[in-house]
Amino acid sequence: MGPGYDRERLIDLLKRQALRTGTFTLASGRTSPYYVDGRRVTLSAAGAALIGAAVLEQLDDLPGVSAVGGLTLGADPIVGATLALAGARGRDELHGFLVRKEAKGHGTGHLVEGPLEPGMTVVIVDDVATTGGSSLKAATAVEALGCTVARVIAVLDRLEGAAAALAAQGLDFRALVTIRDLGVEPLLPHAELDVDPLPPLPGP
């Protein structure tokens, strides 16, 4: 990638600030000998600057994209960093959105927060991709509003099936770095275990 994004520096930040070893129970219920706490980097000034620049550069070949967002909480600081940098670079046309884990029970009752309109093309972002479930949930929510998902971008891919799960739904998946870049071998992908499949995305 071009100026503004230093991949090796991002890898170093993730190694020093986000990677933890031990015994951890993941959201999927699996036990892992390591954990990557992405928010320790996405919520740092250095990490936000690097990741915001990387996401903007990922949009260079997607001129029709008008919004970036994803499932709270992983996407929240990435969206903020990307929009702040976009504004500083004169890309005022870019918007953001956040997908709640469930629709709020008061006010508008929205599941998706932000200025999305039917027909918009968007990019989904997340900090750490494992099975791809968070990004698929976000994609399902915005497609239900009539938007098109052009790409899914994760800061780090744990290499446990997210790429395959997203590709199976026709989604273009990119990761800024993978767990192997941090010197760690991934666990077996969920696809090789006895797990329930993710639900399909809705049709057009």
Q: What is the pLDDT of residue 189?
A: 74
| CA–CA separation, 198 and 137 (whole Å) | 10
Q: Return all residues near 19 (Cβ < 8 A) that are at least 6 apart.
A: 34, 35, 36, 182, 184
* pLDDT tens, the chain, 204 aa long: 444 789 999 999 999 999 999 999 987 788 999 999 999 999 999 999 999 999 999 999 999 999 999 999 999 999 999 999 999 999 999 999 999 998 765 555 689 999 999 999 999 999 999 999 999 999 999 999 999 999 999 999 999 999 999 999 999 999 999 999 999 999 987 544 433 334 444 444
Q: Which residues does residue 27 pair with via DSSP β-bridges, in sequence order? A: none
Q: Which domains does the chain have, with CATH numbers?
A: 7-183 (3.40.50.2020)
Q: Which residues contact 28 (CB under 8 A, 6 or more apart)?
A: 130, 131, 133, 190, 195
pLDDT of 2 reads 41
> Nearest 5°: CA angle at 113, between 173 and 109?
125
